[in-house]
Amino acid sequence: MVEKSRIPPAQRQVQDFPVLHIGDIPKFDAKTWDFRIEGAVKNPLHLSWEEFLKLPKSLTISDFHCVTGWTRLDNRWEGVLFRDVTRLCNPKPEAHAVSVLCDGGYYTSLPLSGLMQDDVILAYQWNGLFLEPSHGKPLRLVVPPKYAYKSAKWVRKLRFTKIQEIGYWEARGYSNTADPWTEDRYGLQT
């Protein structure tokens, strides 16, 4: 087992890679799949799967913490760093957050500053292989410093916004900041 300092409070380490999502796994067709960036950007982006694969590729190694209590360490994610794709779309000065929209209707959002960190990646490979459909094939976001409901699977669109929108789980009581180290699991209840 690994030193405790890498496991956030009340989390337990798992060796397998659980699958967790709501709804059905969307079908992927490389011919019709596309990826869009829109909203508060100077250069909206529209890429095919083939074009996406030609973007500069990076490798990150990071830990994955689900709010239900499991943590998987040392995942090797390969894909395009969020900040590399952001450079291409040239955000407007008023862009402070990004909504992440997925096939199947799931969505979440994060402050732009957090997404620009070194380990935030739009990943298409995990531990050397293209993603399994259940883990987000063809493309998912990985945001290691946040609970994994921010790591959206089946990503199709990023919308840059002035203020941070409220995502699927966030609208149902989960924290919009989602910091595993402070057990920031639940938003303020009314």
Residue numbers of the site for ligand MTE (CB under 6 A)?
A: 17-22, 66, 102, 104, 106, 135-136, 148-149, 151-154
Terminal Cα distance for the chain, rounded: 40
Cβ at position 180, least distance to ligand MTE in Å: 11
Contact 106, 168 (CB under 8 A): yes
Where helices occur in 39-142 by DSSP H, the ranges are: 49-53, 82-89, 112-115
124 is in the binding site of which of ligand MTE, Mo ion, none (Cβ under 5 to 8 A by kind)? none
Q: Could you give the CA distance from residue 36 to residue 120 in angstroms, rounded to a whole number?
A: 18
| Residue 66 contacts Mo ion per CB under 5 A | yes
For Mo ion, the closer of residues 124 and 147 by Cβ is 147
Interface residues for Mo ion in 146-165 (CB under 5 A)? 148-149
For ligand MTE, the closer of residues 64 and 91 by Cβ is 64
Contact 65, 116 (CB under 8 A): no
Site residues (vs Mo ion, CB under 5 A): 66-67, 148-149
